[in-house]
Structure 1
Amino acid sequence: MLPNRMNLTRSTEEQLKKLKGYTGITPNVSARIAFFRSIESDFRYQGQEAKLDGSLVLDKYTWLGETSDVTELVLKMYYPELDTKGYQQAWAAHIQDGIASVRNHRALTEISSAI
């Protein structure tokens, strides 16, 4: 469903890297947190295609880790009509939405209490 190699928008990627500098949480783990924060907030991808121009291109397992099956099932449940490219766009949009709720935390303890 999701492609084996994925990336995000440059701005989202920069926010993930800044968060790593503040908290030590790697971009792939903070992307997982952001994705599920977005799902919890009832954000829905509306089909607007973003330019996924980030330089951090990782394989699907690195991005999703043990949440791989759950992430793909959630995307499939919310967006049954999408193709592989559409699923990647939806995944990236959810991360962009979700990172807004955690990007300003300066310590790991702040993030853990916020989620």
Structure 2
Amino acid sequence: MLPQKMKISDKAFNSLRRLQNNTGLTVNIGARLAFFASIERGFTWDGGDIELKQRELDKYTWLGEHGDLVEMLLKQKYPNLEAKDYYKAWGSHVDDGALVMETSNSVSSLVQRL
């Protein structure tokens, strides 16, 4: 369902770089946490367009061993999307979660925030 090569938005990339500078968590690990934080917060993608043009990585690098779980959560939250739109939904959740997490200045403060 999600493509083998994926990118995130400029906004998410910048937020996750700030998080990396503050906590040492890499951008791909931050993106995983951002996605799950966004789902947990109850964020819902409005179907709008999103430019995913930063940091192309393969799906496994972005999602790790949680790829099936991410896809299942997306299908559960958005049961009527076309296959190509799940990628945009994932990207919008990374955007949302990254903004919440970017000001954390340590892993412990990040855990408390999530």
Question: Per the shorter chain, which TM-score range?
Answer: over 0.9
1:13 corresponding residue in structure 2: 13
Q: TM-score, normalised by structure 2?
A: 0.94
Tell me how far apart the structure 1 counterparts of residues 27 and 88 of structure 2 sit (CA, whole Å).
18
Pairs within 5 Å for 1:35-114: 35-54=35-54, 56-114=55-113
Q: Percent identity?
A: 39
Partners of 1:75 and 1:90 within 8 A in 2? yes
Q: RMSD between aligned alpha carbons? A: 1.1
Partners of 2:12 and 2:99 within 8 A in 1? no
Q: What is the deviation of 1:114?
A: 2.2
Write 1 or 2 for the structure with the bigger share of helix: 2
Q: TM-score, normalised by structure 1?
A: 0.93
Unpaired stretches in structure 2, ≥5 consecutive residues? none
Count the aligned residue pairs.
114
Q: What is the deviation of 1:88?
A: 0.7
Write 1 or 2 for the structure with the bigger share of strand: 2
